[in-house]
Structure 1
Amino acid sequence: MADQLADSQCQVLVVGAGPAGAATAYHLAKAGVDVLVLEKGIFPRDKICGDGLTPGAVKEILAMGINPLDEGWQPNYGLSVIGGGHRIALPWPESGSLPSYGLTCQRTKLDQRLIQQAVAAGARLEENTVVQDLLTDGSGYARGACAIQRDRESRQKRELTFRAQYVVDCTGANARLASRQGRTPLKNRPLAVAARAYFRSPRGNETMMESHLELWDGKPGKSNLLPGYGWLFPMGDGIVNVGLGSVSSGAQSTKLPYKEIFHRWIANLPEEWGLREENMLGSLRSAPLPMAFNRKPAYENGLLLVGDAAGMISPFNGEGIAPAMFAGRRAAAALVQALGRTSRAQSELALREYPRDLQDQYGGYYSLGRVFVRLIENPKIMHACTKYGLNKPALMRFVHKLLSDGYERRKGVASDRVLQILTKVVIPS
């Protein structure tokens, strides 16, 4: 009983062991904090994702002490963009603050490797543990969670209670713990739905990702143009992640028959990709993508939100791993400071630096992204942009830097300074 009691207590309880939870736990453990991570699945486990990692995500992976190239991960060096009858190859921007390459990595491998790194740093992990509710004290302050754990061999369930000084919600788009505190999704934030499948492909080992900015439900230019985009991300080992997404500027997801559209779309892609039914691995799966800080505040009453739980996915490109891992690192820094303060009031001051960090990094950028989504959710506007913009290389390099979040936040070249200004003239909210 004493051992079970010790295992159920910690300084910081992290719920969810995806990239957000792993990054939070790693940086806490490296600072000497007693951190316990609860994960409802058993590794390796899959997550629905495009599996594309921008240079921003690579930066955060390196910050966790992992060198992905040394470990044989599949690198990519840019994006081939197709639309409006044009194709342009856009290398990742050269930057002092970011590496000039991206990665692709299946979430079964990525998530397991990241949480392994956190455990190696000193974090504790409990798998197969489904959190049921948030524990609070008399003032509503988060103090832990109650959960159900299923024994792997006997399959018997047991109820567990985990107590902590602070709790971090990394449970994904449903944000189960945040919802318990009344933090519901904002209605004026973009929401996307993405669907993806894996294929064996002759082009599965290429080092450029491919993005289709127009989504036709038949032959391009001879069928209906839909409010969405598609991608083909080579994964290495002769496998490619193929997917499509559709975004709405409001909280309601677009009502599209994704499975039907997906199969129509891939049927009209070049034969060289080999996207035939017999080459499909597994099934087509979909997931919601909450964007642009759709759940606030990121900190309140002892509970921090990191990653999809706070709706941190970029409205520009649908990428959530880089902002989730950045947020995990900054949440850990705030928690370390809070744990070292001598009063609740002082700890609260330290913790409120976390949402300020998020606002400084992404506030103006995501507000600009909301304007972007309102424009491109109209297929006619998207078609006009691709038709008249993709054949202008200088313009597209600028747009690529914006969409990929590849611009410098301070100083930089002229295009960086323009983007800095643009993100400051919008009103963050």
Structure 2
Amino acid sequence: MSTFDTDLLIVGGGPGGLATALHARRLGLSVIVAEPREGPIDKACGEGLMPGGLAELTSLGVDPAGMPFHGIAYLDERRRAEARFRGGPGRGVRRTTLHAAMAARAKEQDTEWIRTRVNTVEQDAHGVTAAGVRAKWLVGADGLHSSVRRAVGIDVTAGTPRRYGVRRHFKVPAWSEFVEVYWSRWGEAYVTPVEPDLVGVAILSRGQPDLAWFPRLSRQLAGGERGPARGCGPLRQVVSRRVAGRVLLVGDAAGYEDALTGEGISLAVKQAGAAVTAIVEGAPESYEAAWHRVTRNYRLLTRGLVLASTPRPARRAIVPAGRLLPSAFRFGVNILAS
């Protein structure tokens, strides 16, 4: 008979890992989180919680401070198309604020931590061993370039087109009740209000990003103190599967399309719930189908929009199309918001 240190070892203490911990504790599993970094963890992120993801967090007892936003707006230099959420607001939340709130809630729920990096994983029919911990199950929530994924032999390739993201904060008064997406020939800039006098600006592109691509936005940010840049990519990671024995992948480690539609954190929280359900039911293979179900709308809409907007003439048509077809624009936004 194997002796276990915990029911569930979670590798990665970001939002995906902490959401997994909260779901697991709610269902009575003992949890250890392996994360080498201390304190709130920052990374390149659009920092917008869609209404559905915000509701999931609230159900877990997490209610981070931030700025409400009521929809998504697409802008170019002359036009604007906007769509309001039907089911209540989302919330712009600094990544560090979100992480601190989730970590505090996980500690309230008696989650344990070990400060270590996991590079090797061993498993048998009964359990998993990593970082000196013997667990019944392991969830890898350690990001785009997951070491857990590599350790258990799950294949991944960087998809095309290869796009990268860079985020900065600007100290200026938040001016919009929407997340604004500025389109140019070379990329998109996402502006999310996160505090009354602070906005996050994330630029997605295939090359070195430049705020000068967006003159309308540059004028809006003029004079604002800018914070340090944080980058990530390539964004699209095509993962062959999300389950290997008693190891399951959650969040960016499980595969990623693009940040274009902005619901990465919301999806990670929903994936976490699906993974824990599969673990509690003793049916890890069911998580694969659940992951596809949870991410279907995101994958189809995001991939379609990325491919459709790759040719420059098509990019120029995105905002005009949103204005000409407002019902379709609202429909797409609200599918992703749910």
Q: Shift in Å at residue 289 of structure 1?
A: 5.8
**Does the 8 Å CA contact 2:15/2:269 hold for their aligned counterparts?**
yes
**Aligned match of 1:269 in 203, 206, 217?**
217
- 1:27-426 aligned at under 5 Å gives the runs 27-68=23-64, 72-83=65-76, 85-92=78-85, 94-95=86-87, 100-126=88-114, 128-137=115-124, 143-146=128-131, 161-186=132-157, 188=159, 191-202=162-173, 204=174, 206-212=176-182, 214-215=183-184, 225-226=185-186, 228-246=187-205, 254=206, 256-258=207-209, 261-262=210-211, 264-265=212-213, 268-269=216-217, 271=219, 273-276=220-223, 279-281=225-227, 283-288=228-233, 290-291=235-236, 294-312=238-256, 316-338=260-282, 350-363=283-296, 365-402=298-335, 405-406=336-337
Separation in 1 of the partners of 2:37 and 2:180?
A: 31
Q: In 1, Cα distance between the equivalents of 2:226 and 2:118? A: 34
Aligned partner of 1:136: which letter?
Answer: Q
- 1:233/1:364 Cα in 2 relative to 1: closer, same or farther (>3 Å)? closer
Which one-letter code corresponds to 1:257 in the other structure? Q
Q: Give the whole-Å Cα distance in 2 for the aligned partners of 1:189 and 1:55.
A: 29
Tell me, yes or no, if the aligned pair for 1:205 and 1:235 is still in contact at 8 Å.
no
What is the SS of the residue equivalent to 1:183? coil
TM-score (norm 1): 0.72
Q: Is the 8 A contact 1:84 1:388 kept in 2?
A: no
Distance 1:20 1:313 in 2: 16
Secondary structure of 1:48's counterpart equals coil
User: What letter corresponds to residue 164 of structure 1 in structure 2?
Assistant: A
Q: Which runs of 5+ in 1 are unaligned?
A: 1-5, 147-160, 216-224, 247-253, 339-349, 408-429
Asked whether the 8 Å contact 2:66–2:94 carries over to 1, the reply is no
Query: What CA distance in whole angstroms lies between the structure 2 residues aligned with 1:406 and 1:207?
Result: 15
Counterparts of 1:314 and 1:288, CA distance in 2: 9
Amino acid at match of 2:137: Y
TM-score (norm 2): 0.90
1:359-415 deviation per Cα after TM superposition (whole angstroms, max 9, x unaligned)? 22323651453233221122211212323442443333234335xx136xxxxxxxx
Question: Residue 131 and residue 111 in structure 1: after superposition, are their counterparts in 2 closer, same or farther (change >3 A)?
Answer: same
State the superposition RMSD in angstroms.
2.5
| Secondary structure in 2 matching 1:309 | helix
Which residue in the other structure is 2:14 paired with? 18
Report the Cα offset of residue 134 of structure 1.
Answer: 1.4
Structure ranking higher on relative contact order (CA contacts 8 Å, 6+ apart): 2
Going from structure 1 to structure 2, the CA distance change for 1:373 and 1:15 (only over 3 Å counts) comes to same
* Structure 2 CA distance for aligned equivalents of residues 129 and 53 of structure 1: 29
**Contact in 2 for aligned 1:46/1:107 (Cα 8 Å):** yes
Question: Contact between 2:258 and 2:303, CA under 8 Å: does it hold in 1?
Answer: no
Larger Rg: 1
